[in-house]
Structure 1
Amino acid sequence: MSRPQWLAPQEARPGDPYLQWAQACEWTGLSLGPGTHLSFLVRRRSGDNWAQLQKSLPSAARLRPPAKQGALHASLDCPVGDLPAVMAQFEWVELAQPLQPYAPQALPAFNEAAPDLVIGVIDQGGAPLQRCFGDPDRPGQTRLRSFWDQSEAPTGADWRAAPAGYGRVLDGETLNRLYAQSPDARSELNCYRELGLMDLVEAATAGRPDHATHVLDTLAGLPAPMPAAAAAKPARLDHAARAALVLVSVPATPARQSTGTASLAQLLDAMEFVLQQAQALAPRAPVLINLSLGVQAGPHDGTMAIERAIDDMMRMHPQLLVLMAAGNRSAQAMNASGRLSSQHSVEAPARLAWRLQPQDPSDSFLELWWRAPSREAAQALRWRVCPPGSEPSAWLAPGQVQTWAAGSRPLACAWAEPGLGLRGRALLALAPVLGARGGVPAGPWWIELALAGSSAELRLDAWVQGDQPRLHLGAPVQSYLEAAIGLGLEAGGSLNALATGGLPLVVGAATADEGRPSVYAARSPHAAEVQALGAADESVFAPGLLAAGPLSGQWMRMAGSSVATPVVARHWANALAEGLRLPVRNAAAWRHGQRAHGNSGVWRPGRPSGLEGLLGASAS
């Protein structure tokens, strides 16, 4: 490989920088097999409508319009060659995980009495035959009405095509049949092998928890005998244990895929799917959705496209309540924050060291976000990148991009978006250290930051994008911030970037015994962003709480805000089933409802919730 060099700076294009990096790498970081489509989260322009947009797109592009025509966001997939025509039609196009499309098919109706409550869990994994999801009033039947695995195409007689045109679905009738045929752990395991749920089989045989199963059991599982202090769910039957259930498993990032993209289009599709299923089951019943998923980097101000889409969905579906995990990365150096002033010049800049791990097989990303009192001040930021053992980049201004390349192969790209008003955004994207696309040196990458020609201060946050855990790798792969000069490490917190929207209830993790925030609990400089603390650890010395494992009869500990969120959500589910009406007409009313009727301490399994005062109240 030739020695990498910085190419001349170019004018930066607005739009999703992760999409631009994937294009610059000629899609080599994506797993684009035959028939694979790119997938996107899109936002329409205010004067457009979804029906017109669908007609204007190339024939192979597939738009999935939202159920409510007034919504601004939707998902879309298309072949690589159709991307320019697609991008011309929308205000915003954000790259998500690729998918294998097919003709969508509606699911058959499931005839039963309308439930009082529908609970949806959108997560990764899921053991659909777990006995903890059984119906206490109809022995031998499950309460799980749909299981949509978004990762794989349907095979065999039991899986159905999905209404969204990708993934595979077990419908209510099939789930009841398989549940009746699998009365014990051995038969469950055999059924999972036949269904091709090999990640679940591997977790069961290795004694590892399955994330979605633990979450759904915590939120809506049947009572089970286990030590009370360690239990993630109550010991007595409640409304949540009688609710109809919908489970969606969103795709995890493949271990060798290196795009920086998340499954946000798939997340939006999952929420639409839960609402569609709830509409078919019980049009008037309240719907609760638990999201124990997240990403690290982002603006952290409620302006991400998926955050806006979720807020819009809650406004348009007044029976919907969404709970979101706050995150767990407070012990990792993933954020730096501070103020840049006129004393930070190109001769004496603020400096940030971002360390890459020597065994990292995936791309790495560092986002910079800044806010200024005026548009002119926002344009005053200057930054440059200093790779280990190499010459630095040029000093770059907003609206400029510079690539570090070995021949024609890009290894790094420093990009700053033009024209964002009082806010600015930059991204440093790096190719992998190891692998076929590898070649980036491990060690500290220094980022230097300065102001040019402005006396105003800028508030700046730097966020490292989190790698997916790769348990099969023996060495750490997550990059991190190891030093800051002129900025404070972790001064901006560690909140999940999806958890700053206006309407979802955001839940942080705490210990059950003392009610203190867990040592890993996400922090935020804005205390109001975490509205509730839920038990996630038995104690400091006994991390995690017990809930169902992959097979019936298995009980496993899991910790984190992923556990705290369904602990809190179960209290809300029971209150909804008892007549709670949601005050979600606007963000201010919802926030007021949380403060007035939420529990001032830590929410624990089976304890009083503090929501009783809201039962039967008006949503006004």
Structure 2
Amino acid sequence: MNTVIDWENGNSYEAADPYLAWAELTQYQHFRLRSSEVRRWMVLIHLKVSGRDAPIEALIKNSGDEWLQVSPIYRRADIAAKRFAFCTARVGKEFFAAVASGSLKDLVLAYRLCLPVEYPVDPLKATGDPTDSPADGDGKTILALIDGGLALGHRAFLDANGESRIRHFWRQDDYSGSRYLNDARRTSDPLHSTDPWQPGMMGYGAELDRFALNKALAAHRLRGSLDESALYQDLGLWELDRLAHHGTHVFSLAAGPFRYPEQFCGNDQSINWEAKEEVASTCDLMAVQLAWANVLDTSGRSADANILDALMYLLARCPEKSRLIVNTSWGAHAGPHDGSSILEQAMLAWCDLRAPGQLQIVLSAGNHYQSRGHANAQIDAGGVRALPWRVPPESYTPHFLELWFEPDQMGSVEISLESPDSTQASLSVSERQPFAMGSGGATLVLVNRAYLGRGTVALLALNPTAGNGGAILAAAGLWTVRIENVGGQPLKVDAYIERNDVALGLFTGARQSHFEDELYNDQEGVDVPSKFKPPTSYSDNRSVIRRTGAFSSLATGSNSSKYSSHRQVFSVGACVALAGGQEWPAPYSPRLHDTSDRPRRPEVKQSPDCMAPGDERVELWGVRGAASRSGAVVRLGGTSVSVAQVVRTLANGGDPKPPLAPGEIVQ
């Protein structure tokens, strides 16, 4: 094993990250790395707050420089003064020994593996201590984006004089290409380390300030017209050769010089540069381009560390007295869904680093309400529940399923996995044997106190069902997960299939799996009784598959911390605009609470904090927004579009609309 953790020892699963166990047991083959290439790991860390030292300073003091690197941003005096207890780190194998039984045992509460796909974790580059927050712009509102594919030269992000509204732009990649996209020519080509790019203040990536951006814009203007394609080629932003990108479209709706109704069909995309009362149309902007290794890994496993780094970067670049509203629509499907994940806790703590109301984060609630990716059940003592799991053919990426139980339930559960091919023996895990690997490309890991969040979790991982990388392929078809309650009390379980789809403009070969259940009513848009079987319990709905609770894993926490009465973190669902100003919940979006008597784990989030239009009409999907070049528009829909509307509303001093109540839903 690359780490010092003995995964053959059952005690290693008392408290752990099951994805680290899976990565080690499968020798990192699904990260598109050779095991010998993995010498460092990127981790997101939650620290204990105690003693005189600030938590991050205590972490560094009790670690070795040769096996733990933390970006200087986390060591700023204002961060230490707030006793911020979250950070990212690049660690060696000694870190895991120190957490298990060494100098970090009583300091590290939890860590999450955030290893990027296809690239080894390099050491941080040498950087000086980050300067204090800039003073220019104090007291103003700044909008920020954390996403992928932002067209920096698009007219939506320039002011009336043609100069950039973007104060700072950080691209997290150290290279300008991707093995994932078979882009060998750019794979090992470092981003420009000279003008106009500057080294990233976080120790990796590269950044541009407004001066550098305006200089680059001026260099590519001819007779007043900007050659955007030449600009992006010169900056090495190869991805902007594609017609549309998620980041450009979303941010144009949040901060572009047009109001939302002007995007509806029948209206021109009129740009009103005189609308000075619109803060969102004229305010300063900042943006972070997530590393493409994370954007391409749509399961979301690797992005958490980069998202927290992005938030810390934006904080450092934001004037101390300014208001900062962050738009991020990234997120995975699996996780505890009760706000206990490390990143969700870190986001709330981040909002407390400035005065109440100064820092706000707006998150997508997700688009998988109808994807059959969530199951919920209560299993009586001695009972068994089967979950049929349909895994598609021609899928080039791994599939993951997480089973979440209440805390300390490891001794009450036994889990088995049966393949579609009856010739392969089933795998099983329990407290006595917390891991299992099969010849058919399946791995099971059971962890009592999950580092991923609050509760006991089982991870079921399947290899791709297609590919030519030499790895064993899993069988496509109907896998069966069996959960047996061997304890004396009823057992509540939530099952979440991890996201496995393709990001806009890219091709990874990912295909989404789902649950199947003959009691599931797929003729309706909400959880209603099956038309085919007579219901007997759970408020007349016996299907194990539940739309309610299908939620983005980053948006399931509280919207304010115990230190602030202000709403700080918003989860946003989507609705469809109807004639006469009425609205209807979008079919793909989370919406209402489950009012049935169905047993469930405590604090699992079911409905978003607010809603905004994600589709123009019932018969016209999506909303028009910016494509990758000025003057071109593209229609995209989903809760990401809704997030942009809430960001714009907040910037302009408005209040987001709450979710529609049952009586408000137009039939």
TM-score under structure 2 length normalisation: 0.76
Residue type of the partner of 1:75? T
**How many Å apart are 1:469 and its aligned residue?**
0.6
Aligned to 1:210: 245
Distance 1:119 1:354, change over 3 A: same
**How many Å apart are 1:475 and its aligned residue?**
6.9
Q: Distance in 1 between matches of 2:656 and 2:299?
A: 39
The match for 1:249 among 264, 268, 289 is: 289
User: Which SS does the other structure have where 2:375 is aligned?
Assistant: strand
Matching of residue 29 in structure 1 with residue 65 in structure 2:
no
Return 262-271 or 250-259, whichever deviates more.
250-259
User: Which SS does the other structure have where 1:339 is aligned?
Assistant: strand
RMSD: 3.3
**What runs of 5+ residues in structure 1 fail to find an aligned partner?**
1-6, 577-596, 603-620
Residue type of the partner of 2:141? L
CA contact (8 A) 1:18 1:260 kept: no
**How many Å apart are 1:213 and its aligned residue?**
1.1
Matching of residue 170 in structure 1 with residue 208 in structure 2:
yes
User: Which SS does the other structure have where 2:352 is aligned?
Assistant: helix
Distance 1:234 1:564, change over 3 A: farther
**How many Å apart are 1:378 and its aligned residue?**
6.6
Distance 1:83 1:383, change over 3 A: closer
- Within a 5 Å distance, the mapping from 1:48-197 to structure 2 comes to 49-60=55-66, 61-64=68-71, 65=74, 67=76, 68-69=79-80, 70-79=83-92, 83-85=96-98, 89=104, 90-98=108-116, 99-100=121-122, 101-104=124-127, 112=136, 114=138, 116-136=140-160, 139-153=161-175, 154-155=191-192, 156-183=194-221, 187-197=227-237
Q: Distance in 2 between matches of 1:215 and 1:252?
A: 18
Q: Distance in 2 between matches of 1:117 and 1:474?
A: 37
Runs of 4+ in 1 over 6 A off after TM superposition: 33-36, 106-111, 231-234, 254-260
**How many Å apart are 1:111 and its aligned residue?**
8.1
CA contact (8 A) 1:144 1:172 kept: yes
- Within a 5 Å distance, the mapping from 1:572-583 to structure 2 comes to 572-575=650-653
Matching of residue 479 in structure 1 with residue 552 in structure 2:
no
- Within a 5 Å distance, the mapping from 1:595-614 to structure 2 comes to 598-600=656-658
**How many Å apart are 1:444 and its aligned residue?**
1.3
Return 225-234 or 426-435, whichever deviates more.
225-234
Deviations 1:307-364 (A, max 9, x none): 000011112322111111111011211111121113x63xxx2111112222122221
CA contact (8 A) 1:158 1:170 kept: yes
Aligned to 1:490: 546
Matching of residue 371 in structure 1 with residue 406 in structure 2:
yes
**How many Å apart are 1:249 and its aligned residue?**
1.2
Aligned to 1:466: 499
Aligned to 1:540: 618
Return 419-428 or 290-299, whichever deviates more.
419-428
**How many Å apart are 1:167 and its aligned residue?**
1.2
**How many Å apart are 1:439 and its aligned residue?**
2.1
Matching of residue 305 in structure 1 with residue 383 in structure 2:
no
Distance 1:25 1:574, change over 3 A: same
Aligned to 2:589: 521
Aligned to 2:643: 565
Return 310-319 or 230-239, whichever deviates more.
230-239
Residue type of the partner of 2:416? R
Aligned to 1:287: 324
CA contact (8 A) 1:129 1:179 kept: yes
CA contact (8 A) 1:401 1:413 kept: no
Paired residues in the alignment total: 555
Q: Distance in 2 between matches of 1:321 and 1:119?
A: 10
Aligned to 2:179: none
**How many Å apart are 1:386 and its aligned residue?**
0.9
The match for 1:440 among 474, 477, 484 is: 474
TM-score under structure 1 length normalisation: 0.81
User: Which SS does the other structure have where 2:286 is aligned?
Assistant: strand
CA contact (8 A) 2:139 2:321 kept: no
CA contact (8 A) 2:168 2:207 kept: yes
Q: Distance in 2 between matches of 1:516 and 1:259?
A: 29
**How many Å apart are 1:239 and its aligned residue?**
0.8
Q: Distance in 2 between matches of 1:254 and 1:262?
A: 6
Distance 1:289 1:234, change over 3 A: farther
**How many Å apart are 1:538 and its aligned residue?**
0.7
User: Which SS does the other structure have where 2:228 is aligned?
Assistant: helix
User: Which SS does the other structure have where 2:313 is aligned?
Assistant: helix
The match for 1:431 among 446, 463, 466 is: 463
- Within a 5 Å distance, the mapping from 1:376-415 to structure 2 comes to 379-389=411-421, 390-393=423-426, 395-398=428-431, 400-406=433-439, 411-415=441-445
Residue type of the partner of 1:489? I
Distance 1:145 1:106, change over 3 A: farther
Q: Distance in 2 between matches of 1:573 and 1:225?
A: 14
Deviations 1:260-304 (A, max 9, x none): 7231011000001111110xxx32111111111111001100000
Q: Distance in 2 between matches of 1:50 and 1:117?
A: 29
User: Which SS does the other structure have where 1:488 is aligned?
Assistant: coil
Aligned to 1:554: 632
Residue type of the partner of 2:572? V
Residue type of the partner of 1:187? D
CA contact (8 A) 2:254 2:647 kept: yes
Q: Distance in 2 between matches of 1:255 and 1:569?
A: 22
Distance 1:104 1:384, change over 3 A: same
The match for 2:42 among 39, 42, 45 is: 39
**How many Å apart are 1:79 and its aligned residue?**
4.5
CA contact (8 A) 1:256 1:362 kept: no
Query: Percent of counterpart pairs with the same letter?
Result: 24
Q: Distance in 2 between matches of 1:276 and 1:269?
A: 11
Distance 1:225 1:30, change over 3 A: closer
Aligned to 1:507: 572
**How many Å apart are 1:15 and its aligned residue?**
1.0
**What runs of 5+ residues in structure 2 fail to find an aligned partner?**
1-6, 176-190, 520-541, 560-568, 595-604, 661-667
User: Which SS does the other structure have where 1:218 is aligned?
Assistant: helix
Aligned to 1:581: none
Distance 1:132 1:181, change over 3 A: farther
Q: Distance in 2 between matches of 1:446 and 1:495?
A: 23
Deviations 1:59-84 (A, max 9, x none): 23211326522111100113567654
User: Which SS does the other structure have where 1:52 is aligned?
Assistant: helix
User: Which SS does the other structure have where 1:489 is aligned?
Assistant: coil
Q: Distance in 2 between matches of 1:96 and 1:322?
A: 21
CA contact (8 A) 1:378 1:423 kept: no
Aligned to 1:589: none
User: Which SS does the other structure have where 2:29 is aligned?
Assistant: coil
CA contact (8 A) 1:149 1:169 kept: yes
User: Which SS does the other structure have where 1:522 is aligned?
Assistant: coil
Distance 1:275 1:255, change over 3 A: closer
CA contact (8 A) 1:387 1:444 kept: yes
CA contact (8 A) 2:574 2:642 kept: yes
**How many Å apart are 1:171 and its aligned residue?**
1.5
CA contact (8 A) 1:366 1:462 kept: yes
CA contact (8 A) 2:245 2:628 kept: yes
Residue type of the partner of 2:21? Q
Residue type of the partner of 1:295? A
Residue type of the partner of 2:517? A
Distance 1:113 1:256, change over 3 A: closer
Q: Distance in 2 between matches of 1:113 and 1:45?
A: 35
Q: Distance in 1 between matches of 2:485 and 2:659?
A: 44
Distance 1:260 1:598, change over 3 A: closer
